Amino acid sequence: MKELVIEAERKNLIQVQAFIDEQLEAVGCPMLTQTAIDIAVEELFVNIASYAYGPEIGIAVVQVSVYEEPLSVEITFIDNGKQYDPLAKPDPDTTLSVKERKKGGLGIFMVKKSMDNVNYEYKDGKNILTIKKNLS
């Protein structure tokens, strides 16, 4: 497992994505899959940076684990900001027009649809959100 500890600020998204992309490229992740992971990472990290700590700036921990059977990557985001389970909200009704839909929730919905597994837990005062994507 590789780990990055970084201030949860939007400007640090580039560093977070570079850290994750380095791990993905090392195992030959297909570009289309890497793009889907990058989009999910952007959504999750920006949410932490925007909402977890309020006006203050806190720390985010990003962990990347690669598994061989089947070839997959697991990315975990940990923060000790406000407790929030983004998976608890119902999925938006995508059959409705944009005007008819309630605001919010589309980003997490996209993460859930593009990843093979998404899990949230609150443990020891920390939000722990894990995404997993098969690479083969």
Q: Which domains does the chain have, with CATH numbers?
A: 2-134 (3.30.565.10)
Range in 78-82, 86-90, 103-107, 118-122 with the lowest mean pLDDT: 103-107
pTM, full prediction:
0.92
| Residue 136: band (very low, low, confident or very high) from pLDDT cuts 50, 70, 90 | confident
Average pLDDT of the residues in 109-121 = 96
Radius of gyration over every alpha carbon of the chain, rounded to an integer in angstroms: 15
Percent helix / strand / coil, the chain, rounded to 5: 35, 30, 35
What pLDDT does 90 receive?
76
| Residue 96: band (very low, low, confident or very high) from pLDDT cuts 50, 70, 90 | low
In angstroms, the CA 115 to CA 48 distance is 18
